[in-house]
Structure 1
Amino acid sequence: MYFRSDVEIRTYITKIGNSSFTVGHEAWQEGELKVKGQAVLVYYDFKLQKSIPLPDSIREILKTHMFPSMDVSTSDAENDTDSPCSV
């Protein structure tokens, strides 16, 4: 990564489970994938002190951000097979 050079961050959902979902992240700079990562987020009830199923309303919103349905507008992602944003 280079200082004073634009960085494009791509974020998308890679998996939706019963009570959790996985978010993927990519950092691109000058047409190259520089960093990839992921995070698992759990729907948690603090009163019950346990995970609980994702509500259908949240599940439907998350589905719209699954990476296969992403509108990939740059040719870089189309040519990079390491990126889940590839088509």
Structure 2
Amino acid sequence: MFSEEFNVRFYETDALAHVSNTVLVGWFESGREPIFKLFNPELDLQNWSLILASYKVDFLEQIFYGQKVQVRTFISRIGRSSFDVYQELWQQQKKCATGTTTMVHFDYQSKQAVAINKSIKAELLANSYSG
């Protein structure tokens, strides 16, 4: 599991006094940074090799300003060239949201998916979700 903690910023709240639903997608992306570094340790955008294929977010509880949030990131599926990232967002010991993102190891020049090498697969497996 990878874990990141964020302060909820005032501007991330909405007129209903809780965190706007659009903010979670950004937090989840930030929580995937350790995974990005497995494929590209320097995060060199000229040599990027991942593409986002889909994402889904489920909102379970309201999230509020003034209390930190934690994003927990796991790998829930690994295929030949793609994998699913399962994430949970926690605040005050409550699971407030979950998300699943499908990422594809991708060659932008050939515009094709590329097999994930064995060493990266092993790192992904080491961070897999056990339910």
Shorter-chain TM-score range:
0.7 to 0.9
Partner of 1:4: 66
Give the number of the structure with larger relative contact order, counting CA–CA contacts within 8 Å between residues 6 or more apart.
2
Residue 62 of structure 1, CA deviation: 0.6
Name the TM-score, length of structure 1 as normaliser.
Answer: 0.74
Mark the runs of 5 or more structure 1 residues left unpaired by the alignment.
Answer: 69-83
Figure out how many residues of one structure are paired with residues of the other and give that number: 69
Tell me, what secondary structure is at the counterpart of 1:67? coil
Partner of 1:71: none
Give me the whole-angstrom Cα distance separating, in 2, the residues matched to 1:2 and 1:46: 39
2:102 is aligned with 1:40: yes
Give me the whole-angstrom Cα distance separating, in 2, the residues matched to 1:11 and 1:26: 7
Pick the structure with more helix per residue.
2
Mark the runs of 5 or more structure 2 residues left unpaired by the alignment.
Answer: 1-62
Give me the whole-angstrom Cα distance separating, in 2, the residues matched to 1:6 and 1:14: 25
2:129 is aligned with 1:67: yes
Give me the whole-angstrom Cα distance separating, in 2, the residues matched to 1:47 and 1:5: 43
C-alpha RMSD of matched pairs (Å): 1.0
Residue 45 of structure 1, CA deviation: 1.0
Give me the whole-angstrom Cα distance separating, in 1, the residues matched to 2:91 and 2:116: 34
Partner of 1:16: 78
Structure 1's consecutive aligned runs of 4 or more residues displaced over 6 angstroms after TM superposition are none
Give me the whole-angstrom Cα distance separating, in 1, the residues matched to 2:107 and 2:70: 34
Give me the whole-angstrom Cα distance separating, in 1, the residues matched to 2:90 and 2:113: 34
Tell me, what secondary structure is at the counterpart of 2:123? helix
Tell me, what secondary structure is at the counterpart of 1:47? coil
Instruction: State the identity %.
Output: 28
